[in-house]
Amino acid sequence: MFDRDYRWVLPLLGILMLLLILVTHWPRASTWYENEKQVEISSIKVTELATWIIEGRNDFVPVMLQSEADPGLQNIPGLVSIDPFDDPQRDVEKLPIYKQMLILTPSGSLDPGLAIQLVSNEKRRVIQVEGGVRAWKNMINAEDIQNLSLTKEEQDALARIRPFFHPELYQTIGTLGEPKEEYVAPVSASPPLLEEEEEEEEEEGC
């Protein structure tokens, strides 16, 4: 009696298993585009880029995504201009693959389609500069930054960085942004005190 009443359970389980297989293997939107990839681009602040320049690092290539060169960016050594509307991937492939590529755009925003082209080679590390050219000009190139809304950390960073790009600031800006009467050179940059040492030795000999 039990077997006859529950013979329909096995076919039902078979149908449910078939439906489960169909649901789990049904194509999703993410699989419709074989060439679609997740674009992950890290970012740095303009103060970090400025620090890299001051340190003399040569493990990166700064790239300006703009059709024409910007004369206001001449203080970025080795800057390469790439036209984003004229096969940028072709120009990117000419750059050394072993160097990080730092991207600057006019406003700091990056088109998703363009981003995919920039990361087409997974071996190349791509980094975007936050704020782009606008931030560089406002924080690094500008003669006066008093009107900018900055955090204490940003103020301290700029106080250390800006004198490198504005030598006249050495007379008025200290290490942490505190006014100083004059710029004091680091100990390593001071001349050796050989003459003073010789004079001291002569006095001791007398």
Say if residue 111 is in the same domain as residue 58.
yes
| Six-digit token string for 188 | 């390593």
Say if residue 50 is in the same domain as residue 126.
yes
Say if residue 46 is in the same domain as residue 131.
yes
Convert the pLDDT of each residue in 106-155 to its tens digit: 988 888 888 888 888 888 999 999 999 999 999 999 988 888 888 888 88
Residue 60 forms part of a structural domain: yes
Residue 88 forms part of a structural domain: yes
Please report the pLDDT score of residue 19 as a whole number. Answer: 73
Q: Domain with 55 in it: what CATH number? A: 3.40.250.10
| Average pLDDT value for the chain | 76
Say if residue 70 is in the same domain as residue 88.
yes
Residue 127 forms part of a structural domain: yes
Give the Cα separation of 160 and 47 in Å (integer): 10
Give the Cα separation of 176 and 165 in Å (integer): 16
Say if residue 129 is in the same domain as residue 179.
no
Say if residue 100 is in the same domain as residue 171.
no
Convert the pLDDT of each residue in 68-111 to its tens digit: 888 889 999 999 999 998 888 899 999 999 999 999 999 888 88
Give the Cα separation of 63 and 128 in Å (integer): 10
Give the Cα separation of 92 and 120 in Å (integer): 10
Say if residue 131 is in the same domain as residue 147.
no
Residue 67 forms part of a structural domain: yes
All residues at 6 or more sequence positions from 101 whose CB lies less than 8 Å from its CB, including other chains: 60, 61, 63, 92, 95, 118, 124, 125, 126, 127
Say if residue 118 is in the same domain as residue 147.
no
Please report the pLDDT score of residue 197 as a whole number. Answer: 47
Say if residue 51 is in the same domain as residue 117.
yes
Residue 55 forms part of a structural domain: yes
Say if residue 94 is in the same domain as residue 122.
yes
Cα→Cα distances 23→26, 27, 28, Å: 5, 9, 10
Say if residue 66 is in the same domain as residue 98.
yes
Say if residue 47 is in the same domain as residue 131.
yes
Quote the number of domains for the chain: 2
Q: For residue 53, is pLDDT > 60?
A: yes
Residue 25 forms part of a structural domain: no
Please report the pLDDT score of residue 183 as a whole number. Answer: 38
| Six-digit token string for 191 | 């001349």
Q: Where are the beta strands (DSSP E) in the chain?
A: 42-44, 60-65, 80-82, 100-104, 126-129
Please report the pLDDT score of residue 101 as a whole number. Answer: 95
Q: For the chain, give the number of residues.
A: 206
Closest CA to 163 of 153, 173, 154: 173
Per the structure, the complete domain to which residue 95 belongs is given by 42-136
